Chains A and B, each alone.
Chain A
């Protein structure tokens, strides 16, 4: 299984809503990532988890709250978002041991904040 699965595929939420994005992989990867991608731009790193611990937070606003409940799951909790947070949110995973390796991306969640 070389898939990273993200749910939901699409999400529309109001600025006062609370929602969560979910990501799952069963490749045994111990590094998991959240990226944000705006149209015609590259993916922009938000968070990195290594061995279920948050290792990088790229100065992301607190309205985005990541969580890694176990080695296969990664969540992104959303609260009080702004319209400019509308984007494609990509989850990815990779091996940690043995040096840098291919990052596998999920198909993304298309988020619209209204």
Chain B
């Protein structure tokens, strides 16, 4: 099955700085890569996603890049704010075509 590796496990940045989280995947047939944000005690919520036919996608302060050849994708958050503090999970679609395989998560702390 699909194996998703995520780094770093923790990340601390100052407000206004950028944050980058990286993931690699093993299954070259994976074609959908979402990023979820989970605040303490709450459900995971999709913040951005990318499909394998696209190299980069942006939504305001958030961007995701995908390198299919190297099988890695990254989340970029610019101008971080304290409310960006949360656990971020990358994921890739497994061979089943719609069940997510998650990375281990990155705990992001943005300090004022």
Could you tell me which A residues sit within 8 Å of B by CB distance? 31, 33, 40-45, 48, 50, 55-56, 90, 94, 96, 99-108
Contact = CB atoms under 8 A, between A and B. Distances in A.
B102 A43 contact: yes
A107 B89 CA distance: 16
B44 A43 contact: yes
30 contacts: A40-B87, A40-B105, A41-B105, A42-B103, A42-B104, A42-B105, A43-B44, A43-B100, A43-B102, A45-B99, A45-B100, A45-B101, A48-B99, A56-B96, A90-B44, A94-B98, A96-B98, A99-B31, A99-B32, A99-B51, A100-B51, A100-B93, A101-B32, A101-B98, A102-B46, A102-B49, A103-B98, A103-B100, A105-B43, A107-B42
Contacts of A48: 96, 98-99
B97 A99 contact: yes
B85 to A, nearest CB: 15
B45 A100 contact: no
Interface in B11-68: 31-32, 34, 42-46, 49, 51
A56 B105 CA distance: 23
A71 to B, nearest CB: 15
Given A41-B104, A100-B31, A33 B99 contact: yes
A100 B97 contact: yes
